[in-house]
Amino acid sequence: MAIRQIRENGDEILRKKSKEVEKVDEKIVELLNDMLETMHKYNGVGLAAPQVGILKRVIVIDLYDGNEPLKLVNPVILKTKGKQEVEEGCLSFPNQYAKVVRPEEIVAEALNEKGEKIKIKAKGLLAQAICHEIDHLNGILFVDLMLPGTLEYVESKED
């Protein structure tokens, strides 16, 4: 596994649409593992492949809640329910946070790291994270969705 460089605001790759993964092979599994390691290094909740410079429909999510992290290939949202106003940040926008409106609940479908089709029912933070990361795959950034006047800059905390 390896730590990959996170692309930050202004990098044109963040605005491009990612391509479907045709086959979950060793390269995709390696990408998933590298993304998870990178996300953990920077204390993120989610990471999409475009954020590490790869235009593939691949995301990882970890809520640090004792459950296994999600490694999703070609994720698609099938259904949404309700709305929640939430504060979001993004590893591609260090120390910036804004309020956005996301679905309260979703049903999504994806392939797992074994290439098996899985269905995910999510609500709250998990629904928010899946929506945020799928947006990245479509070149949509949280700042595109932010409620007016809610962008905040937070001083960086040195480790």
Task: State yes or no: is 133 an active-site residue.
Answer: yes
- Do 88 and 121 form a contact (C-beta atoms < 8 A)? no
How far is 145 from 136, CA to CA, in rounded Å?
A: 12
The pair of three-digit structure tokens given for residue 83, joined into one six-digit string = 């709305």
Helix (H) or strand (E) holding 109: strand 105-111
If you search the block for the tokens 């990245």, which residue do you land on?
136
Q: Which residue is catalytic, options 133, 152, 155, 158?
A: 133
3-class secondary structure, 152? strand
- Residues with a known catalytic role: 133
